[in-house]
């Protein structure tokens, strides 16, 4: 029997309802935070009570896109303070996915973990084989339970992100211009061409 989960279930039944809060964060990850390596301090640390929601969007420095190949795990995660056991649920969305990925958002299976929360980018997002690429990820995570020492419900402060953990090969590319940017570029080239034609046909 899973005692931490049983404790969470019992405490959730007994706990009085409280007003839930949604915290929205946009975290720009340095390129060094993608891979099996380091952590990044959240720009806005948050303290979640049971029932609160963390809406966190990850993008990459310089507007880069990431391409990952040969990965078994791709996991954006957030680490918290304290010794607590968490149950959580929510959605994961791929931002500007390449041809091998769904955009989502997909409802993820409820999870349980220690001091980290986050959803794995699983095969459920795949539309085809090969490398996957995207400009960012968005997780909407609701804290369903948080049990600390002695079986008491505790708030948890999430203060750093583990970046984007992956065991695959990673490469970055420059951001693809938005359609509006392409339109401005094309219009600019058209105006330059018209100006050059007028200069060429002007009498000497």
- What is the mean predicted confidence (pLDDT) over 33-45? 87
Domain count along the chain = 1
Q: Residue 181 falls within a domain, yes or no?
A: no
Residue 187 lies in a domain: no
Q: Would 13 be classed as within a structural domain? A: yes
In a domain, residue 193? The reply is no
**pTM for this one?**
0.75
DSSP, collapsed to helix, strand or coil, labels residue 159 as strand
pLDDT higher than 60, residue 45: yes
For residue 184, tell me if it sits in a domain.
no
Residue 178 has pLDDT above 50, yes or no: no
In this predicted structure, the answer to whether residue 13 has a pLDDT above a threshold of 70 is: no
> Is 194 contained in some domain?
no
Annotate 95-128 with DSSP letters as a single string: ES--TTB----EEEEEEEESSEE-----GGGBSS
Interval 93-120: pLDDT, tens: 999 999 899 988 999 999 998 888 999 9
* Neighbouring C-beta atoms of residue 65, cutoff 10 Å: 19
Cα within 13 Å of Cα(73), Cβ side: 12
Query: Residue 195 falls within a domain, yes or no?
Result: no
Closest CA to 114 of 163, 148, 140, 150: 148
76: in domain: yes
> Which structural domain range is residue 47 located in?
3-176
Average pLDDT of the chain to the nearest whole number? 82
């Amino acid at each position: 029997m899973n005692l931490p989960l049983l404790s969470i279930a019992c405490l959730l039944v007994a706990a009085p309802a409280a007003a839930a809060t949604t915290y929205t964060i946009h975290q720009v990850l340095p390129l060094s935070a993608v891979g099996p390596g380091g952590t990044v301090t959240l720009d806005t640390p948050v303290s979640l009570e049971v029932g609160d929601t963390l809406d966190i969007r990850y993008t990459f420095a310089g507007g880069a896109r990431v391409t990952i190949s040969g990965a078994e795990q791709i996991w954006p995660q957030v680490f918290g303070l304290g010794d607590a056991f968490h149950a959580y649920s929510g959605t994961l969305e791929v931002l500007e996915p390449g041809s091998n990925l769904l955009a989502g958002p997909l409802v993820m299976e409820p999870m349980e973990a220690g001091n980290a929360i986050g959803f794995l980018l699983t095969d459920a997002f795949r539309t085809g084989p090969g490398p996957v690429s995207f400009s960012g990820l968005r997780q909407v995570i609701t804290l369903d339970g948080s049990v600390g020492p002695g079986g008491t419900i505790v708030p948890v402060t999430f203060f750093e992100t583990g970046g984007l953990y992956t065991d695959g090969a990673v490469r970055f590319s420059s951001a693809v211009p938005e359609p509006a940017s392409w339109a401005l570029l094309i219009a600019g080239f058209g105006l330059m061409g018209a100006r050059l034609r007028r200069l060429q046909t002007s009498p000497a």
